[in-house]
Amino acid sequence: MSVFDDPGHFGRLWAATYDGPGNPDPTPAVDFLAPLAEGGPVLELAVGTGRVALPLAARGLTVEGVEASPEMVALLRAKPGGEQLPVTIGDMADVPVSGPYRLVFLVFNTLFNLVDAERQAECFRNTARVLAPGGAFVIETFVPDPADVGRDQQVQVRAVTEGSATIRMHRYDPATQTVLRQTVTFDADGVRLEPFAMRYAWPEQIDEMAQRAGLHLAERYADWDRTPFDADSRTHVSVYRLG
């Protein structure tokens, strides 16, 4: 079985460095999401270490999470308010909770961590199942760049020191819209592999998945600040509604 069939793989691999420097400020996302919650309750899929869920809960909303990685949840629990935030351990595609929720959200490209098109579609269907009538499902992803995803492969030198070297390699498959990334570190302890894969999708394809699940696109912006989305936008924040 591939490691990418294991929904907890990403968290085990990256939990220790997930809250490192360079992460986006969650405030714009929280400012955007809080009014959509309409008082809650709220569910974050792939809640991770609670970077968005915890400040959203601090605004007085009832927030729950789904997360496949116990390692990520352990980091969430160690943060202020983390012990009080309910988290269900499970695959986000299954949405293993009952609801109903006024708002469900899935941010920071994490939809693409589901490397199979059908699993992405199941995530939408299962989200629709737990949404309250008129509830919102918010997705944030990048917009694929044909110049990147249209190539066969890419090699990047990430770091070189006297004692180590880190190389990142990408293999692209345009037919399945998948990217396999392998980060290889060579040092005195040997060789360390950090594999990661994703299945990217264009906004129109995400809209189609939503429509098949009974959701319709209500709003789309280029970012959390509600910048208008256009042909040059490299990211999108999309709000889908049930009913």
> What is the rounded average pLDDT of the residues 214-219?
98
User: What pLDDT does 4 receive?
Assistant: 56
> What is the rounded average pLDDT of the residues 189-210?
92
- % of the chain with per-residue pLDDT over 90: 73
- Residue of 132, 138, 82 lying closest to 107 (CA atoms): 138
Task: Write out pLDDT tens, residues 122-160.
Answer: 999 999 999 999 999 999 999 998 877 767 778 888 899
Tokens, residue 118: 């059908």
Band of pLDDT at residue 110, cut at 50, 70 and 90: very high
User: What pLDDT does 196 receive?
Assistant: 83
User: What pLDDT does 152 receive?
Assistant: 73
**Does 196 or 62 have the greater pLDDT score?**
62
User: What pLDDT does 192 receive?
Assistant: 87
Q: 87 pLDDT exceeds 80?
A: yes
User: What pLDDT does 104 receive?
Assistant: 98
**Does 215 or 157 have the greater pLDDT score?**
215
Which stretch of 6-20, 35-49, 102-116 has the lowest confidence by average pLDDT? 6-20
> What is the rounded average pLDDT of the residues 23-48?
95
Mean pLDDT of the chain: 91
Which stretch of 10-14, 71-75, 239-243 has the lowest confidence by average pLDDT? 10-14
Structural domains of the chain sorted by starting position, each given as residue range(s) with its CATH number in brackets: 3-143+201-242 (3.40.50.150), 146-198 (2.20.25.570)
Q: 14 pLDDT exceeds 70?
A: no
| Residues 99, 140: Cα–Cα separation, whole Å | 22
The CA-atom distances, in angstroms, between 108 and each of 83, 156, 157, 185, 234 are 23, 22, 24, 25, 13
| Residues 110, 103: Cα–Cα separation, whole Å | 17
User: What pLDDT does 105 receive?
Assistant: 98
Q: 46 pLDDT exceeds 70?
A: yes
Tokens, residue 187: 């040092």
- Residue of 90, 36, 93 lying closest to 66 (CA atoms): 90
- Residue of 123, 13, 106, 108 lying closest to 65 (CA atoms): 106
Task: Write out pLDDT tens, residues 184-194.
Answer: 999 999 998 88
Tokens, residue 73: 């949840």
| Contact (Cβ atoms closer than 8 angstroms) between residue 65 and residue 92 | no
User: What pLDDT does 150 receive?
Assistant: 65
User: What pLDDT does 2 receive?
Assistant: 59
